[in-house]
Structure 1
Amino acid sequence: MIGILIKYFGYTNLIAGYDPDAVTNEDALAAFVGNRVLAVALLTVAVGGVEYISTGDGTPWHWYAYGALVAVIAA
């Protein structure tokens, strides 16, 4: 929901540390941050689905992949 508000409706004030005086292109910032928030949300839903259907063999490989992918998206 927050990603949609930032990207499609321009609520850049939802971005932590947002300083309107330091931003030169507010639309580009909204698209950049909104895309990343939406990507992490989609990834979270996907990992939840994997967790739901997993066999429970004791290996939390999907959480390792989740952490790595969130780190890549945040970089």
Structure 2
Amino acid sequence: MQEARQLRLFKNVATSSVNQVLKAFRACDLEHDVTVSIGLAPMDPKASLQSLIARGDSTLYRAKQQGRNCLC
């Protein structure tokens, strides 16, 4: 239960950060649209760094498959 609450909080913070980055890019009036997709992976003290990167990479690709400006 605690882990699920932490993950929700982490997603809320990440979503807020993504929105701020997108807002900053859009304010620059760039020639091209900017999109952001982010994959989150909770830390596991028992797991290796490679495992963390693999889990983050997996959720990143899932976010990209869902469309632009997604967070998984």
Rg larger in structure:
1
TM-score tier by shorter-chain length is 0.3 to 0.5
Q: TM-score, normalised by structure 1?
A: 0.46
Q: TM-score, normalised by structure 2?
A: 0.48
